[in-house]
Amino acid sequence: MSFQRVPGLFRIPNVPGFTPPDVIWRGKGADEGFFAFSAGYSWGGHVIVRSNNLCPCLQIDGAKYTPVFTDINGYIYWQGSGYVYYTKTYGWVLCDKFPGYEPLENHKWKDESYEWEGDSFYSFSQPPSGPDNEVEMRPRGSIHESGSAKSLKSLWPRWAAKNGEFGEYEGKDGESGKKVKGLPQFKGAGETFLRSLNKDKGYYTYGRIHRASGKWVIGEIGSAGGWHEGSEPQVGGGVNFRFCKPEGSDAEGSDISVSFSGYIAGDETDTAYLGSVAIWR
């Protein structure tokens, strides 16, 4: 599981209460299709999300509305059993008409009271800016008098960082299990061993720890000065590398105990696939 930092060229239509990140990390291998970035204080800081959840979803009467990154009057819109989008006339609305349509609302004086007519829709100030906020949606048009107010909330299926940007992330708002951002780092005998981003001939390397002749070693097998043999380092545990030397050698050395010390950002570079566009003809 790995993430790769890619250029900060993330551009989408405006999302109320959310600023697109300057830096985004793209998942590799088992994390392909996931992205990691800072979502801001109200959402708990650093998050990992699926590719279709790059910003918060909305919830109305228990029903989920997912974001669509198409510009409607300067903003994205959400779709579910209806549509939530921005209008020039009423601001934000919930309507069963396709985004871009301006709902109609009229009233006339009848029997000493106003009679409302037009489309059936709701209007509100703007979508909630965080998970703890709630917005009231007021009935408009033909349901101006007969309709009841609705409650609008935000939810964001995501994994939130438990302790800083690099390390374990826990599932929130429908996501479960854990994810990890960063490369595992190990230490032993005053030396640091950082796992590689990519595999070499089917195996990761960990600094000087590498796979050779069917063994996990530190150094070079057969070296006159000796080498160390052990097993592949594991997160959450430790491994002992036994000092070895050629038969008849006078070289001296001690075993090396290697243990997991945490997750950090590596410094490897690699080609990143960001997307595709049609060729202009």
- Kindly report, residue by residue over 82-99, the tens digit of the pLDDT: 999 999 999 999 999 999
Assess whether 79 and 201 both reside in one domain.
Answer: no
211 lies in which domain range?
183-264
Contact between 48 and 179 under an 8 Å Cβ cutoff? The reply is yes
The answer to whether the CB of 48 falls within 8 A of the CB of 193 is no
Could you tell me if 228 and 103 lie in one domain?
no
In terms of domains, do 47 and 160 share one? yes
Identify whether 275 is part of a domain. Answer: no
Final residue in a domain of this structure, among 136, 154, 172: 154
Within a domain: residue 277? no
Supply the pTM of this predicted model: 0.83
pLDDT tens digits for 254-272? Answer: 999 999 999 999 888 777 6
**Residue 230 confidence (pLDDT):** 97
Phi-psi domain of 51 (left: phi exceeds 0; alpha: psi -120 through 50; beta: other): alpha
Instruction: Indicate whether 240 pLDDT > 80.
Output: yes
> Is residue 27 one of the residues assigned to a domain?
yes
- How many structural domains comprise the chain? 3
Rounded to whole angstroms, the Cα distance separating 137 from 174 reads 24
Arithmetic mean of pLDDT, 129-151: 92
